[in-house]
Amino acid sequence: MINKFRPFSFSLKQRDKIAYKDIFLALLVWSTAFFVTGVFLWILFDIFWHGSRQISWAFLTGKTLDSGRTGGIAPILVSTLLLLGICLVVALPLGLGTAILLAEFTPTDHWFGRLIRFSLDILAGVPSIVFGLFGNAFFSIVLGLGFSLFSGGLTLACMVLPILIRSIEKGLRGVPNDYRLSAASLGLSRTATLTKLLLPAAVPSVVAGLILGIGRAMAETAALIYTSGNVYRMPESLFDSGRSLSLHIYDLSMNVPGGDDNAYASALVLVFLLLAIDTTAIWITEKLLREKIQN
């Protein structure tokens, strides 16, 4: 009788061990999530606590004075948005076209596709200071753009492209192959299949890549020191030098005595600007997906 029920008792012990392991892993995952969330909320609260006292309409629309100790951040905001606009105008078409080439027109095991993917993965991990030196040597000196918003925006586009391309490519490859077969059976061209079926299905991946790219571009400092410059006057054209918000925060906190209050306020504006852009992108994505489901 003992030998008869021994396997049953052994299986119960195994189940208990598996249950304990599941509980331990669940606790580990949840504690990690709470820790990361707590650190983020603590940083956000600290920025809000010190920066909210400086936020006003005059601060958002006024000129930057006394190296940033006084005045507002209107020139900084304009330069930041112009840098981001140049970056997206250049990076989005190039990233979308390259991702389509890799996902739809290049076999997975082809040497060309593997070489491009390997190069993109390497570029995604390159330090930003290297991109800054490249941008200074190529855009500022070779192309003659000097320290300008053009140089900074093009350098940011080079930094964003690896993330954007890989995100869109993964999204396109994640679309079920039945979409392509159904489109081919209906006689649709590859262009129509891409625009009508594949790209709408990959919209979440495109938006995810954009959000990651925008976050990296707006938080960049090292690359912009060597390309867009550090001038805090209002830019009159894209060929003028300009200072981004992230670079302004760094300069106030590290190089300008008495600039901590405005640094906190500028950091708060940068956080809210990022949240506004990300929320808008997510809202547009959900709206497009709802319209697609309804149609």
Predicted confidence (pLDDT) per residue in 101-139, tens digit:
998 888 878 888 889 999 998 988 888 899 999 999 999
pTM (two decimals): 0.84
pLDDT given at position 1: 44
Q: Are residues 92 and 178 in the same domain?
A: yes
Q: Tell me what the pLDDT averaged over the chain comes to.
A: 85
Are 223 and 135 spatial neighbours (Cβ–Cβ below 8 Å)? Answer: yes
Q: Are residues 8 and 71 in the same domain?
A: no
Q: Are residues 108 and 218 in the same domain?
A: yes
Give yes or no for residue 226 having a pLDDT over 50. Answer: yes
> What whole-number distance in Å separates Cα of residue 184 and Cα of residue 278?
36
CATH number of residue 128's parent domain: 1.10.3720.10
Q: Specify whether the backbone of 175 is left (phi greater than 0), alpha (psi in -120 to 50) or beta.
A: beta
What separation in angstroms does the CA of 31 have from each of 21, 39, 83, 205, 272?
15, 12, 38, 28, 27
Q: Are residues 240 and 276 in the same domain?
A: yes
> What whole-number distance in Å separates Cα of residue 72 and Cα of residue 66?
10
Q: Which residue has the tokens 């609260």?
A: 45
Structure tokens at 157: 């586009």
Q: Are residues 212 and 188 in the same domain?
A: yes
Helix (H, G, I), strand (E, B) or coil at 71: strand
Q: Are residues 251 and 144 in the same domain?
A: yes
Q: Are residues 164 and 230 in the same domain?
A: yes
215 compared with 6, residue with greater pLDDT: 215
Q: Are residues 4 and 64 in the same domain?
A: no
Structure tokens at 217: 């571009």
Report the number of distinct structural domains present in the chain: 2
pLDDT band at 15 (very low <50, low <70, confident <90, very high): low
Give yes or no for residue 35 having a pLDDT over 90. Answer: yes
Q: Are residues 40 and 97 in the same domain?
A: no
What is the extent of the structural domain holding 19?
A: 1-51
Residues 6+ apart with CB under 8 A from 209: 95, 163, 164, 165, 166, 167, 168, 171
Q: Are residues 107 and 139 in the same domain?
A: yes
Q: Cα angle vertex 223, ends 127, 142, to 5°?
A: 110
Q: Are residues 46 and 110 in the same domain?
A: no
Torsion sign, CA atoms 149, 152, 158, 159: negative
Between β-strands 64-65 and 70-71, what pairing exists: parallel, antiparallel or unpaired? antiparallel
Question: 69-84 pLDDT, tens per residue?
Answer: 888 899 999 999 999 9
Q: Are residues 11 and 62 in the same domain?
A: no
Q: Cα angle vertex 4, ends 3, 7, to 5°?
A: 85
Greatest CA separation found in the chain?
A: 92
